[in-house]
A and B are shown apart, each in its own frame.
Chain A
Amino acid sequence: MIDLKFNRVSKKYNIRANGDSPKRWYGRGFAGRKRPGQMWALRNVSFEVNEGEALGIVGHNGAGKTTILKILSGITTPTAGDITIRGRLVALVEVSSGFHPELTGIENVYLHGAMLGMRRSEIRRKLDSIIEFSGVGRYIEVPVKRYSSGMFVRLGFAIAAHLDPDILLLDEVLAVGDAAFQAKCLERISELRKDGRTMVFISHDLAAVYRLCDRALLLSHGCILSDGHPRQVIDEYQQMTFAGQDMSADENKDNDTGTPAKCTGISFSAPESPEGIRTGYPLVARLSYKALKSIPDAVFRVSIYWPSGYLCAQLTTESMSGGLQLEPGTGIVEFQCPMLPVVPGLYRVDLAIESKGLEIDVRQRCATLRVDPGKIAYGDFYIENTWKITETLPQPCTPVH
């Protein structure tokens, strides 16, 4: 069964400072001339989501992700095309935006719940469970303006988590709250997933899309560029990022601000394995840079982060004998790694150039490194090894109890 269907949907925004200028109403510009202040956020977008499927939508800022979400939740309407939604749809977007500061927690539960389409009887039945989930305890009788921001968000999510959606929309919800709260959110989401609910997940967090979704869409400038397995779509998204517009846009900006050197790109390749970058196989990383002045004592760094955000490893030109001397011009730093030890997954990558210990260009989370399964590894790392069975021991083993 198809739960969600976009049929040739387009959305146009008027992007003038004053929205739709009242002048249009009394004459000038009335004749349907092409006005400059228009932007097509979606162009002829068609896709379907099956029951029980988790669809991830990725794309740059302004690609149209949020517009899809707003149209789905009914906040705004398409300019052309139509959308069919089968079942109760709930959007987990800024979960506490319906709160009124003067009202107490309980009053807000009723108000916010009603805005999300719950009946009062339904809220009354679930009230205890909502309060328990939120963990605000006795503060539930206090006006929410006295809440800490964490309590605010927790209460909002607690209400949303008690809705019983057929289709769940998520928009970077996981980006808010502390670690324990995020774990709770994820737990609830996977609970709903196991239950066969349909999900649409909109995120910049490629690792999360990779982990949570069955399928992904890549949006760019309001069009669907690709639709398929998350791995393949994320690949394409990354290629698009590095091929392009983004880095060159930055280039112009940096010329103006006078950064003496900057990273212009990064690529990862696997010279020996045609299937891509794999655990236990060689990796080549190439960092391209552009220097405008000569830079003494330069150091390049490629930092690789776990999906959890901790630093996993770093490729660096740093050495005991001091940095490099960079001359103006462009160049490529090539790191040769005979064996990549990290386990399969998506890693985020930072690039940096330092001079005399001071950062002169840092690109945070500018790329993603995807490692596919290669040699069998569990835990965090693959330990290079060979093994054989022998009869005689050079020294006796410690007995295992």
Chain B
Amino acid sequence: MTTTPETVVASQMTVRSAGAVAHPTTWETSTGMARTPARPVKVIHPPAFSIGTISTGLRTLVQYSDLLYTLSLFRLNVRYKQSALGWTWAALQPLALMGIYTIIFTRVTTVATGGVPYPVFVFSALLPWIFFSSTISSAVNGLVLYPNLLTKMYFPREIIPLSYMVASLADFCIASTILGGLMVYYKVPLTWHVLYAIPIVVILAAFAAAIALFFSALQVRFRDVGLAMPFLLQMWMFTVPVVYSLQSVPERFRGLYLLDPVAGLIEGFRLVVIHGRAPDFQTLALCGAVTIVSLPLAYAFFKSLEATMADLI
């Protein structure tokens, strides 16, 4: 069930013969732009579920890549417009959470941190977690927030959830400077292994995109998704090693526990950034594999629902 806009360039033969009869090869238009005679030909078919929709969808997405950029930029812009603190909000949220978890997990009870001060320990995991959860929670409502856009205009709809992912990634980068500051303050040394953070964040972003695509498409049909999402994410946070470390998880559950790529990736991020160690490559490979399978599936699912979104919203 999906739109299959096949964009192919009209065969050179046909175009040339048409040009010879009706038009010169190029001509000046009223807007002063030279129009090339090769026009794209688009065929719209009834929705049909197929894996082929992924490649045609991606081709259209590339055509609209400027929209993804513009929309992400303006997401950030709009979010902090008419707010006094502006960009500092990106850092305030993880800092506030760090404060409350530090009080709970150092005064009320304690967890093993592997010798790292608890604020740095929890902050290093809050960063990727907030990136992931804010992507999901904002993307899920993204499509239904402006129904006019969906019913009056056409552009690849996945751009909306993806733009929230990009905006959250920017927030993540801002908050990362705070992590740097904390590490200097608590004298936590940085090693070259920190570079592993890049592939880890890339995989996390891809997985966040998969989840965001899946749930935002579902939300158009079932608004229950948006209602369930806040506490679903809250529960999810406690199933991944944010406030505690992976070592606290019993050995026999760890295989199951790490099936969730978010758990493996957050633990990996913490390992390479504050513990200065190489990540567990086996876990990382598993996370990558789950992501590589789930992203195309989520995208195909999204594209299959996209065809009828304007009718359902």
Which residues of A approach B to under 8 Å, CB–CB?
A: 1, 13-14, 19-20, 22, 51-52, 70-71, 73-89, 91, 93-94, 97-98, 100, 102-103, 107, 110-111, 114-120, 126, 129, 143, 162, 164, 166, 191-192, 195-196
Cα–Cα distance between A103 and B71 once the two chains are bound (Å): 11
Cα–Cα distance between A143 and B155 once the two chains are bound (Å): 24
Q: Which listed residue (B31, B46, B69) contacts A78, Cβ 8 A?
A: B46
In this complex, which of B44, B46, B151 has the most chain A Cβ atoms within 10 angstroms of its Cβ? B44
Q: Could you count the A-B residue pairs with CB atoms below 8 Å apart for me: how many are there?
A: 138
Q: Is B67 an interface residue (CB 8 A)?
A: yes
Chain A contacts of B10 at CB under 8 A? 86
Give the distance to chain B from A72, nearest Cβ to Cβ, in Å.
Answer: 8
Q: What are 12 A-B contacts defined by CB distance under 8 Å?
A: A73-B153, A75-B153, A77-B2, A77-B46, A78-B44, A87-B39, A100-B78, A102-B77, A111-B74, A143-B81, A192-B30, A196-B22
Contact A20 B221 (CB under 8 A): yes
Cα–Cα distance between A19 and B309 once the two chains are bound (Å): 11
**Do A20 and B30 form a contact, CB below 8 Å, given A75-B151, A81-B46, A100-B74?**
no
Cβ proximity bits B134-149 to A, threshold 8 Å, 1 near / 0 not:
0000000000000011
Which residues of B approach A to under 8 Å, CB–CB?
A: 2-3, 5, 10, 14, 18, 22-23, 29-31, 33, 35, 39-47, 63-64, 66-67, 69-71, 74, 77-78, 81-82, 148-155, 221-222, 307-308, 310-312
Contact A103 B78 (CB under 8 A): yes
Contact A74 B152 (CB under 8 A): no
Contact A117 B63 (CB under 8 A): yes
Chain B contacts of A129 at CB under 8 A? 31
Cα–Cα distance between A401 and B243 once the two chains are bound (Å): 100
Q: Which listed residue (B29, B47, B78) contacts A77, Cβ 8 A?
A: B47
Residue of B nearest to A112 (CB): B153
Give the distance to chain B from A49, nearest Cβ to Cβ, in Å.
Answer: 14
**Do A117 and B64 form a contact, CB below 8 Å, given A1-B22, A107-B77?**
yes
Give the distance to chain B from A74, nearest Cβ to Cβ, in Å.
Answer: 4
Contact A87 B78 (CB under 8 A): no
Chain A contacts of B30 at CB under 8 A? 191-192, 195
Cα–Cα distance between A74 and B148 once the two chains are bound (Å): 14
Cα–Cα distance between A214 and B138 once the two chains are bound (Å): 48
Contact A85 B70 (CB under 8 A): no
Contact B46 A84 (CB under 8 A): no
Contact B152 A75 (CB under 8 A): yes
Contact A20 B154 (CB under 8 A): no
Contact B46 A76 (CB under 8 A): no
Chain A contacts of B35 at CB under 8 A? 164, 166
Give the distance to chain A from B73, nearest Cβ to Cβ, in Å.
Answer: 9
Contact A94 B152 (CB under 8 A): yes
Cα–Cα distance between A98 and B152 once the two chains are bound (Å): 8
Cα–Cα distance between A85 and B197 once the two chains are bound (Å): 46
The 4 closest A-B pairs by CB, nearest first: A74-B154, A114-B67, A87-B39, A97-B152
Residue of B nearest to A118 (CB): B66
Contact B63 A86 (CB under 8 A): no
Contact B42 A85 (CB under 8 A): yes
Cα–Cα distance between A116 and B47 once the two chains are bound (Å): 23
Cα–Cα distance between A103 and B44 once the two chains are bound (Å): 34
Q: A51-B22, A88-B40, A117-B67 are in contact. List 4 more A-B contacts (CB 8 A).
A: A98-B149, A114-B66, A195-B29, A196-B23
Contact B153 A85 (CB under 8 A): no
Cα–Cα distance between A102 and B75 once the two chains are bound (Å): 11
Cα–Cα distance between A98 and B149 once the two chains are bound (Å): 6
Give the distance to chain A from B140, nearest Cβ to Cβ, in Å.
Answer: 17
**Do A82 and B44 form a contact, CB below 8 Å, given A19-B312, A126-B31?**
yes
Give the distance to chain B from A308, nearest Cβ to Cβ, in Å.
Answer: 26
Contact B74 A74 (CB under 8 A): no
Contact A119 B221 (CB under 8 A): no
Give the distance to chain A from B66, nearest Cβ to Cβ, in Å.
Answer: 5
Q: Which listed residue (B2, B69, B307) contacts A76, Cβ 8 A?
A: B307
Residue of A nearest to B64 (CB): A117
Contact A83 B44 (CB under 8 A): yes
Chain A contacts of B308 at CB under 8 A? 76-77
Cα–Cα distance between A257 and B312 once the two chains are bound (Å): 36
Contact B153 A116 (CB under 8 A): yes
Cα–Cα distance between A87 and B22 once the two chains are bound (Å): 15
Cα–Cα distance between A297 and B70 once the two chains are bound (Å): 67
Q: Which listed residue (B3, B43, B47, B82) contacts A102, Cβ 8 A?
A: B82
Chain A contacts of B31 at CB under 8 A? 126, 129, 162, 164
**Do A97 and B149 form a contact, CB below 8 Å, given A74-B44, A77-B307, A111-B70?**
yes
Chain B contacts of A117 at CB under 8 A? 63-64, 67, 155
Give the distance to chain B from A366, nearest Cβ to Cβ, in Å.
Answer: 30
Cα–Cα distance between A166 and B15 once the two chains are bound (Å): 14
Cα–Cα distance between A195 and B148 once the two chains are bound (Å): 32
Cα–Cα distance between A78 and B2 once the two chains are bound (Å): 10
Cα–Cα distance between A103 and B78 once the two chains are bound (Å): 7
Chain A contacts of B69 at CB under 8 A? 114, 120
Give the distance to chain B from A26, nearest Cβ to Cβ, in Å.
Answer: 11
Chain B contacts of A115 at CB under 8 A? 67, 149, 153, 155
Cα–Cα distance between A71 and B66 once the two chains are bound (Å): 24
Chain B contacts of A70 at CB under 8 A? 310
